[in-house]
Amino acid sequence: MQKQSNTIYSHQYPSWLYKHPGLIHLLYIANNCILLRKWYIKSAIRKYLDLRHANISLLDAGVGEGQYLFPLAHKYPNCEFTGLDKLLSHQRFFDAYTKKFQLTNVKFIHQSIEAFQNDCVYQVIFCFGVLQYAQNDLLVCQHFYRQLQQGGQLFLYVPINNKSILPFFTQLSNRYSNYETVQQRQRIYTSAQLLQMLTAIGFTINECKYTNGYFGIISNELMNIYLMFFNKSHLLFRIVLTCIFILCYPIILLCMLIDYVTPKTTGNGVLIIASK
């Protein structure tokens, strides 16, 4: 099999992005167009989190490229935001971004979510699409509980079930590198397992919303098929693949829209809002 580059799955930043960090907002826009989970997460943030007259501290555990933290930091200068991540590439980008926009209400902690402990108490903790990669998920959630103030809120998004619909998707996933294999996903949850763990720690569940039902799974699998082939291809074929993807995107978008507006009793993702 052809040797593959996993750059697109490894959170590696091009050098020009460190010089022009504001261009990351183009990636935020792209993610809004292709990542269905962002629709659900942003909707929950708007519903449950009102920062207009608050003076709170918020921790984004597994902050990545700051797609949730930075927009909030711009919008609510009265609040304190902390990004936590284990990758130095994220710290380098974080430093470049905050310097560029002179954000004084944000800071970055370079540490894994398992090892992270400090004396701070947060009113809000985000953890989106990260828990499944933790070696010790119970320890992570116990840290979250301890570092939330009484009445504080945990926003947790986790992929669950791992159900597949397109018959060839599983075969391709087993053959080619993909995000989950490169990032070394540790486990596949059910919603019951997550809720049991959180309630045993002491959390009160405020909402448990399923995402990525039948049509959401199809849109996600089509997107990941494109990325798997893109990752293993040379430049010319990548251009052809991208043209095909653009032609197929209306189908992907339609599937995302149907999933978002359709009530679901299960799915391949769950968004949990819990309080201490």
Q: What's the CATH code of the domain at 68?
A: 3.40.50.150
Range of the domain at 36: 7-163+183-213+264-275
Kindly state whether residue 231 falls inside one of the protein's structural domains: no
pLDDT of 3 strictly over 50: no
Residue 148: band (very low, low, confident or very high) from pLDDT cuts 50, 70, 90: very high
The count of domains in the chain is: 1
pLDDT tens readout for residues 16-41: 999 999 999 999 999 999 999 999 99
Residue 233: band (very low, low, confident or very high) from pLDDT cuts 50, 70, 90: confident
Kindly state whether residue 36 falls inside one of the protein's structural domains: yes
Residue 175: band (very low, low, confident or very high) from pLDDT cuts 50, 70, 90: confident
pLDDT tens readout for residues 63-93: 999 999 999 999 999 999 999 999 999 999 9
Kindly state whether residue 222 falls inside one of the protein's structural domains: no
Question: Which residues, 6 or more positions from 270, have their beta carbon under 8 angstroms from its beta carbon?
Answer: 157, 158, 160, 189, 191, 194, 208, 209, 210, 211
The model carries a pTM of 0.92
Residue 94 CB neighbour total at 10 angstroms: 25
Kindly state whether residue 61 falls inside one of the protein's structural domains: yes
Kindly state whether residue 176 falls inside one of the protein's structural domains: no
Kindly state whether residue 83 falls inside one of the protein's structural domains: yes
pLDDT of 113 strictly over 80: yes
Half-sphere exposure of 115 (CA within 13 A, CB side): 7
pLDDT, position 145: 96
